[in-house]
């Protein structure tokens, strides 16, 4: 049995998939399997998956109907046989030493989860984002997932047996925050966590236009609401941890075109009256900006300046 199962949930990623898979095959550690989940891609992703399966016996592919990223991640987990699992997104890539050094850290510390930093690439700029927890105690790490730690499964090597032991599965109704959801469920339990201060993972921000993460939609909004409502329903759970996530939901709902005040209030029932009043004002200002962009370029520049000032104030809500 391989030591590591690498799960790649693939959807409409033909432009980036080869680069991703080649970075996996360049690993200095070789005892792993790669599970490609083709989630009903309509482009050439399925063909690329099949090509790599023919190249290397450690790679296998599952072609399935489109069910979303959570469905694809869970399918990969169901087919994994490695001692540890890690996810890699098809539009990202990793450093050659990632698997070897993270696995060694897990062995040295007898860890259930090993976390590393990642490199964020956006608009030709690079930035190392430290993922060092303030404390490696699992409850404290769980709390930090609600605050400043990234909830991705891609920079975390996790013992596969934990998913079976605690009956943890990816939520099929979530199209965003599904990985954060799983990371929080894992750290709700008393697991042993280690950290490596190295950016092995390269996160290519916003390169895949097919990603729902980059879209504003009711499906994405409903996913966020499912996340919040799940943890609100847990007994003895600190509900104040959810405040930041609720603000994210408010902002997304505000950005949605065609949403009325009553609809907005229905999606976010705990919003205060001040926010509702500002919502009305922002919507009117948004309409004014659209008119100005069409009919008056100098005026639009002025209004855009005012709008940016308003959005700054909006962040404080």
In the chain (317 residues long), the average pLDDT of successive 10-residue segments reads 97 95 98 97 96 97 96 98 98 98 98 97 92 97 95 97 98 94 98 98 74 63 89 92 84 70 63 54 62 60 64 48
Overall pTM surpassing 0.85 (yes/no):
no
- Alpha carbon distance 165, 149 (integer Å): 25
Burial (CB < 10 A; 0-12, 13-18, 19+), residue 68, is buried
Residue 212: the pLDDT is 46
- Alpha carbon distance 84, 241 (integer Å): 29
- CATH class of the structural domain 4-213: alpha beta
The answer to whether the CB of 176 falls within 8 A of the CB of 224 is yes
315 Cβ neighbours under 8 A, 6+ residues apart: none
| Ramachandran angles phi, psi of 193, nearest 5° | -120, 140
The answer to whether the CB of 6 falls within 8 A of the CB of 24 is yes
Question: ∠131-210-257 over CA atoms, to 5°?
Answer: 95
Sole residue written with tokens 């921000």? 205
Q: What residue ranges in 99-242 does DSSP mark as E strands?
A: 113-122, 125-129, 156-159, 193-204
DSSP string spanning 225-260?
A: HHHHHHHHTSTT--GGGGHHHHHHHHHHHHHSTT--
């Amino acid at each position: 049995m391989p030591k590591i199962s690498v799960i790649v949930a693939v959807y409409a990623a033909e432009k980036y998939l080869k680069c991703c898979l080649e970075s996996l095959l360049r690993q200095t550690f070789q005892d792993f399997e790669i599970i490609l989940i083709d989630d009903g891609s309509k482009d050439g992703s399925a063909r690329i998956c099949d090509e790599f399966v023919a190249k290397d016996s450690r790679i296998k592919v599952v072609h399935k109907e489109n069910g979303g990223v959570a469905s694809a991640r869970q399918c990969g987990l169901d087919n994994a046989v490695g001692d540890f699992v890690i996810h890699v997104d098809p539009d990202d890539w990793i450093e050659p030493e990632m698997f070897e050094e993270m696995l060694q850290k897990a062995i040295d510390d007898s860890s259930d989860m090993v976390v590393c930093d990642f490199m964020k690439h956006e608009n030709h700029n690079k930035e190392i984002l430290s993922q060092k927890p303030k404390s490696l105690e699992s409850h404290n790490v769980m709390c930090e997932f609600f605050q400043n730690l990234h909830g991705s499964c891609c920079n975390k090597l996790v013992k596969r047996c934990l998913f079976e032991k605690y009956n943890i599965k990816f939520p099929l109704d979530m199209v965003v925050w599904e990985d954060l959801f799983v990371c929080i469920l894992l750290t709700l339990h008393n697991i042993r966590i280690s950290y490596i201060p190295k950016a092995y993972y390269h996160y290519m921000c916003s390169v895949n236009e097919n990603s729902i993460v980059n879209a504003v939609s009711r499906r994405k909004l409903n996913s966020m609401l499912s996340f919040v409502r799940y943890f609100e329903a847990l007994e003895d759970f600190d509900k104040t941890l959810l405040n930041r996530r609720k603000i994210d939901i408010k902002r997304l709902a505000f950005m949605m075109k065609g949403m009325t005040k009553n609809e907005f209030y229905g999606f976010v029932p705990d919003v205060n009256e001040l926010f509702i009043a500002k919502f009305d004002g922002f919507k009117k200002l948004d309409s004014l900006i659209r008119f100005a962009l069409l009919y008056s370029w100098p005026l639009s520049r002025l209004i855009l300046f005012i709008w940016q000032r308003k959005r700054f104030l909006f962040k404080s809500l």
